[in-house]
Amino acid sequence: MYQNAGQDIVVRDYALQHLGHLREDGGDQELITATLYSAASQKNGPLAGTALLSLVQNGEVHDPQQRETTTRLALQAASNPEMDLRSRISAIQVAGRWNDPASLTLATEIALSEASPIPLRLAAIATIGASGEANKHRSLLQSLSNSGDSPRLQQAAQAAIKSAQAATNE
């Protein structure tokens, strides 16, 4: 169903979500992973984001090669302005999942870029806040929390700072 371009985008998107479940429940790992990797490059609609989220569904990706490939695909999607915004938002969150330095660099660039759409900047700030590296980015988060750019960006940065403080106190 996912590969049938004649299907409604919502049906194709649900098919990718179900592939993620099937992958976790013992489905044909090789076929499903290859399909999700292929879908991660779809520029139109939310398909790439759904594929990336399906690749990391239900926990960690334990295979280092799959983790590296998933991170690389997520970085490509998140940094591509031709990609659908919904997919870019999912991609930056997936890319930052393992605190990969390139992912955190991209999240920082997006968070600071006034040319980036606000929802993408919010996702980038959340990615930084969820990382184990949030304290290293405290000055960035502090400057965003004090900026006059957008109240939503200020609130996201303040939440990221609180998240980093809570992680430090644990």
Reported as a single tens digit per residue, the pLDDT across 78-92 is 999 999 999 999 999
| Residue pair 149/115 in contact by the 8 Å Cβ criterion | no
How far is C-alpha 149 from the chain's CA centre?
Answer: 23
Q: Where are the alpha helices (DSSP H) in the chain?
A: 9-24, 29-39, 47-55, 64-79, 85-95, 101-112, 118-130, 138-146, 151-169
Identify the residue with better confidence: 125 or 59.
Answer: 125
Rounded to the nearest 10°, the torsion over CA 112, 117, 118, 121 is -40
Give the C-alpha distances (Å, rounded to integers) separating 41 from 1, 22, 38, 76: 17, 21, 6, 8
User: What confidence tens digit (pLDDT) does each residue in 45-62 have?
Assistant: 999 999 999 999 755 677
Mean pLDDT over each residue of the chain, to the nearest integer: 89
Query: Distance between CA atoms of 35 and 2, rounded to whole angstroms?
Result: 9
